[in-house]
Structure formats: structure tokens, C-alpha cells
Amino acid sequence: MNEKILVLDFGGQYNQLIARRVREQKVYAEIKPYNKISCEDIKNAGYKGVIFTGGPNSVYDESSPHFDPEILNLGIPILGICYGAQLLAFMAGGKVQSAADRSEYGNTVLYVNDSPLFEGVPKKSDSFMSHTDYVSEVPQGFTVIATTDNCPAAAFSCDGKALYGVQFHPEVTHTEYGKIILKNFLYNVCKCSGNWKMEDFIEKTAEKYREELKGKKVLLALSGGVDSSVAAALLYKAVGDNLICVFVDHGLLRKDEGDFVENTFKGKFGMNLIRVNAQDRFLRKLKGVTEPEEKRKIIGEEFIRVFEDEAKKLGKIDVLAQGTIYPDVIESGKGDSAVIKSHHNVGGLPDVISFESIAEPLCDLFKDEVREVGVKLGLPNELVYRQPFPGPGLAVRVIGEITKSKLDILKEADAIFREEIDRSPEKIETNQYFAVLTDSFSVGVKGDARAYGYVLALRAVTTDDFMTAQWTRIPYETLERASNRITGEITEITRVVYDITSKPPATVEWE
Ligand code: XMP
């Protein structure tokens, strides 16, 4: 069995990051909300250690999240981080105080003493702090193992009971030795051996589904996105031809993308893939529609109808497979993997197609782990490291009414822009880049003659989470090459502009 660590969630903003950092150390970690698991469950689940996360509250608030103090007596090592450390101190009988003059935010110098938690950490280093409350008195039997200028107990421990609290955030990169501190907790304190490996995950998951899905017909809606592609490759390893992938090509994909998906899964892997070329059907539904949200709604609904029509032809389906990943499960707030993600392209399918159960082979993995699995299963890098692409596709990048000719123009221009970015001699730090066909027209001169054509916008953003984003500083030379090629190779475009709006106030997509 895999060793596992519980990340007990008290509402902090870095909780997923903590779990990822643990997994980076080759120890499996799962996140559970503090009010969705009992002390008894924790005891029985065989965790090697528990991490209390941060949280926005103060331990003395009546409404603040607390936990059964019995957890301190289970003999399971605990690491409290920020609010988690204050809670640990409070539960063990220490004192927490609130004082504005003690609050720290940002990089703070940390002084550490000898402790199994700080093996390999210099006496003085940088840590990241974000707190107003602080532990003013450690509980009886605990000792202070680190301080800062403002914080008398920046870390404390009771080695005998393997209980540790740190006021700073070891999970963020600003804490210089954060990785080592987490590693020390996992290996020195929890005595983990580090047996979480992707190869094992792939073998074990394939084996599990080989058993569970024996003789069953499994249906998966393949979008060509990372999650559904990796789910398909993994399930194919498990059940082979019993997996049927339906790829609805709505004609709103980027240039040659439909063929690429088909060649990869049908050609390279030899999978049972049905490609439905439904561009005409989607264009008919979208005729005359200009309002962005209406476009999205129509595409979402039509996608389901097309998928449903195809599924009906297949007869009885036993299992519906989905590419749900761990952040989707956590964000659903329920930790219940059977919840269908509402923003998923196939949301709503269960109402129209009957099946016995759902298979979600990636529901324990973070995005970077999903990518690792994809690479190990032999999926092309182009697919595994694909930039995000909205479900409604180019429909939200053709401003105004969508027509086949507008889509064709955009596909060409977008392909040129992406090619120029990819071949740029300078390294460009960008996370999403694409072209937008505006509904503005502009006068130009082409071959000594007056031309009147589309204004095309180029967009590139640099971001961690897509909630906020900076416009990418693309070198002028790259922009110039893209612009020259686009106006030179595409007759219908007379002008190219670059979007220099960050998010907020703009969104990444234009519609
Ligand atoms: P916005 O435009 O909201 O985009 O700043 C943030 C990220 O989400 C993607 N996006 C979508 N993805 N369906 C999707 O699956 C959509 O309707 C949709 N709209 C935006 C966008 O490409 C960016 O990565």
C-alpha cells in the first residue's frame, strides 16, 4: 500500500500546493476538509502523518475551524502550518495572541535551532510569513525551535510526540529551505520511504480497472485536451478495445487539430475512436448568433446532443469514463469523485445516457502529475503540454457571427502566430497565445492596390492560475515576423494588432 499523508484543510489558500509539495517528495498526499473526516477515520486510514493547513481565521473566534484534540494522542506525527500551527498550540494548551505589531507579511528572516525538522537548514534563512496572530506561549512539553525578530515561536515542537508547528509557509518558494523542511517532516519525522511513483500509479490503476471493468463497454468523450486524452490512454491500457472514445469535432478546433487527435489515438495507439465531423451541424445552430454567452450555451448543448446521438448507436453502455482530475474533486468541495464537474464539456451527459457507473482514473492526480502519466504512456508532447483551449473553441475568438470562412481565416492566422512564437530565438515566458478575428475592418494597401480587410488581434498572456494574467512581453521582432506573415499570406487580413491588456480588467479570451 502507498504511504500517505493527510492534508487537513482549514481553509488556507495554499492547501493544494502543500499536497503537491508532499507528492514531489514521492509521498502520496490527500486533502480533506477538517469537517469531513473524524479522528477515528484518521486513525483507521493508516496515515503516516497529518499536516494542518493555514486558514484565514483566529483560533479564538467562535466560528473558526477546530478539530478533535484527541488527534494529538493518536501517535501520528503532525505538522501545523500558520493557522494550523496556532491551532496545534491552542489544542495542546499553549497561548495564541493577536497583535498588529507582531504581524508579518512577506519575506522574513528565520533563525532555527537544532531539530529533526531543520536538518540541513542553515541557522539563518529566508521564510515567507503571512499572519497577525502568533503563538505567544508554547504548550507544556513543547520547545521553541525557531524564531524571527517579531515572532517568539516561529516554530515549536514536542519531539517525543512528533508534533511540530511552523508559523511560516514551507510550501511556498519564498521560503528558501521550505522543500527541505517538508522533506524532513516526511522522512525524519513520519519515517516515510517515498514510494509514490508514477510508474506504480499507472500499473496499479490499469490493473484495478482491468479487474473492475472486465467485459464492460466503456465510453469516453475525448476532447483532445490533456485530461481526457490521458484518461483515454490509461483506460486503453486497462481495457483495450472495450474502451470506445467519441471525439466530437465541432469544427471550432485549431488548424489541423482534429486530424492530429485522430492520428494520435486511432493511428498511433490503434484505439477504438469514433470521430464525428459535426462542423455543419454546429454552424447551423450558431448562424446569426453574436452574443458570447449564447454561443457558449449553444455549443455546450449541441455537444451533448451529438455525443448522445453517437452513444445511442453504440447500444448499451456500462461505464462512462471522465478525465476529472484532483483539483476538480477538491473544488467540488465534497471530495466526492462521483460529482460530475459542472464546467466539463460533457456535463449533463448522465441525464441522457444510461450507464451503470463512472470511471475517473485521474481523480487523484494534479495537473502536472497527469502530464507525467501522459508522457509515460507515450502521448506526444504536443498534446501533453498543450496550452489551455476553451471548450467552445474558436467560437469565442471569432467576434460576432461565426461563419466557415471566418473560421478558416482565423485558423490560418492563429497557426502562423503560434508557429512564430514557438520558433522565436528568444525564450518567451507565455502560458497561452492565440489570434482573435475581430469584426472590425480596416483599409490597407496590398500589391499597390487598396485593400479592405479584417483587423486581427494577437493575444498572449503570462500567468500562474489564469485568474489574473499579464500580457506577455513578446519581442518586437517576433511580433513583426508574425504580422508580416499574416498580412502577406492571408489576403483577407489587412491589419494586425497586439493586445496589451492584462487580466483584470480584461479576460484572457475576448468573448
Ligand atoms: P478568461 O477569458 O475567463 O479565461 O480570462 C481564463 C481561462 O479559461 C479559458 N476559458 C474557457 N475554458 N470553456 C473553457 O473550457 C470556456 O467557456 C472558457 N472561457 C475561457 C481561457 O482559454 C483561459 O485559459
Please give the Cα distance from 348 to 98 (Å, whole number).
48
Strand partners, 276: 248
Q: According to the model, what pLDDT value does residue 349 have?
A: 55
**Grid cell of 314 as nine digits:** 453504440
β-bridge pairing 218-221 and 319-321: parallel
DSSP string, 218-268: EEEE--SSHHHHHHHHHHHHHHGGGEEEEEEE-S-SPTTHHHHHHIIIIII
- Is 82 considered catalytic here? yes
Return left, alpha or beta for 367; rule: phi > 0 is left, psi -120 to 50 is alpha, else beta.
alpha
Dihedral of alpha carbons 279, 282, 285, 289, sign? negative
For the CA of 506, the nearest atom of ligand 1: 5
Cell numbers standing for residue 439 = 469584426
Cis peptide before 152 (omega within 30 of 0): no
* Predicted confidence pLDDT, tens digits, the chain (511 residues): 679 999 999 998 888 899 999 999 999 999 999 999 999 999 999 999 999 999 988 999 888 999 999 999 999 999 999 999 999 999 999 999 998 888 888 999 999 999 999 999 999 999 999 988 999 999 999 999 999 999 999 999 999 999 999 999 999 989 999 999 999 999 999 999 999 999 989 999 999 999 999 999 999 999 999 999 999 999 999 999 999 999 999 999 999 999 999 999 999 999 999 999 999 999 999 999 999 999 999 999 999 999 989 999 999 999 999 999 988 887 665 433 333 333 333 444 556 677 889 999 999 899 999 999 999 999 999 999 999 999 999 999 999 999 999 999 999 999 999 999 999 999 999 999 999 999 999 999 988 899 999 999 999 999 988 888 999 999 999 999 999 999 999 999 999 999 999 999 999 999 9
In sequence order, the β-bridge partners of residue 164 are: 79, 157
Ligand 1, atom 10: closest residue by C-alpha:
390
Write down the catalytic residue from 30, 104, 171, 369: 171
Burial 468-497 (b: 16+ CB within 10 A, else e): ebebbebeeebbebbbebbbeebebbbbbe
3-state secondary structure of 142: coil
Query: Which residue's CA is minimally distant from atom 9 of ligand 1?
Result: 390
Task: Please give the number of the atom of ligand 1 that sits closest to the Cα of 388.
Answer: 24
**Residue 303: predicted pLDDT:** 92
Neighbours of 66 (CB within 10 A): 16
Main-chain phi, psi angles of 228, to 5 degrees: -70, -30
Cβ atoms of 111 and 127 closer than 8 Å: no
- What is the 507 CA–ligand 1 centroid distance (Å)? 8
User: 390 CA to middle of ligand 1, Å?
Assistant: 5
User: Can you give the three-state secondary structure of 186-222, one letter per residue?
Assistant: HHHHCCCCCCCCHHHHHHHHHHHHHHHCCCCCEEEEC
Q: Report which protein residue has its CA nearest ligand 1's atom 21.
A: 390
DSSP 425-492: SS----SEEEEEEEEEEEEEEETTEEEEEEEEEEEEEE-SSSSSBEEP---HHHHHHHHHHHHHH-TT
Q: From ligand 1's centre to the CA of 393, what distance in Å?
A: 9
Ligand 1 geometric centre to CA of 413 (Å): 20
The conformation of residue 185, written as its DSSP 8-state character, comes to I
397 Cα: distance to centroid of ligand 1 (angstroms): 11
* Ligand 1 in reach of 509 Cβ (< 6 A): yes
Is 182 buried (19+), middle (13-18) or exposed (0-12) by CB count in 10 A?
buried
What pLDDT was estimated at residue 423? 96
Nearest alpha carbon, ligand 1 atom 18? 390
Strand-by-strand arrangement of the 49-52 sheet: 28-33, 4-9, 49-52, 78-81, 163-166, 155-158, 143-147, 104-112, 124-131
113, 131 Cβ separation under 8 angstroms: no
How many C-beta atoms lie closer than 10 Å to residue 405's C-beta? 8
Of ligand 1's listed atoms, the one at least distance from the Cα of 387 is: 24
State if residue 297 touches ligand 1 by the CB under 6 angstroms criterion.
no
- Can you give the pLDDT at residue 352? 64
294 is catalytic: no
115: left (phi over 0), alpha (psi -120 to 50) or beta: beta
As given in the structure block, the three cell numbers for residue 116 are: 529533526
Give the nearest ligand 1 atom to 469 CA.
5
Q: Whose Cα sits closest to atom 14 in ligand 1?
A: 390
Phi, psi of 488 (to 5 degrees): -75, -40
